[in-house]
Amino acid sequence: MLPVPRSWGEVTPSWVTAALARRCPGAVVGHVEFGSVESGTNDRARLRLSYAEGAGPGSVFVKAHGRVLHRLALAALGALAAEARLADSGVALPLEHPEPYAAGVDWRRLATVVVMDDVAAHGGRPNDATTALDVAEVRSGLDGLARLHAAYWEGRMPESLGFLRPWRLGRGWAPVSWASIGRGLRRLRDAGQAGLLPQGLDARGVERGFRCSALLAASGPQTVLHGDPHPGNTYALPGRRTGFYDWQLVRTGNWSHDVGYFVVSSLDAADRRRDEKELLHGYLDALRRAGVEDAPDGDEAWTRYRATPVFGLGTWLHTLSAGTFQPLDVCLATLGRFAAAYEDLGTRRLLAAMPSCRGREIR
Give the model's pLDDT for residue 167: 76
Percent of the chain with pLDDT over 90: 78
Question: Does the pLDDT of residue 184 top 50, yes or no?
Answer: yes
Averaged pLDDT for residues 181-199: 94
Q: Mean pLDDT, to the nearest integer, of 307-319?
A: 95
Q: What is the pLDDT of residues 57-112, one digit of tens each?
A: 999 999 998 777 667 777 766 778 999 999 999 999 999 999 999 999 999 998 99
Length of the chain in residues, anyone? 363
Domain boundaries, the chain: 8-122, 125-358
**Whole-number mean pLDDT of the chain?**
92
pLDDT tens, position by position, 138-155: 999 999 999 999 999 998
Does residue 308 surpass a pLDDT of 70? Answer: yes
Instruction: Let me know if domain 8-122 sits in CATH 3.30.200.
Output: yes
Q: Which CATH class is domain 125-358?
A: alpha beta
User: Distance between CA 350 and CA 333 in Å, rounded?
Assistant: 24
Report the pLDDT value the prediction gives residue 183, as an integer from 0 to 100. Answer: 96
d(CA 285, CA 142): 11
> In 3-state terms, what secondary structure has residue 87?
helix
The residues, ordered by sequence, that sit 6+ positions from 154 with a Cβ below 8 Å of its Cβ are 221, 222, 223
- List strand residue ranges (DSSP E) for the chain, in order: 28-39, 43-53, 59-64, 100-106, 111-117, 125-126, 222-225, 234-237, 241-244, 251-254
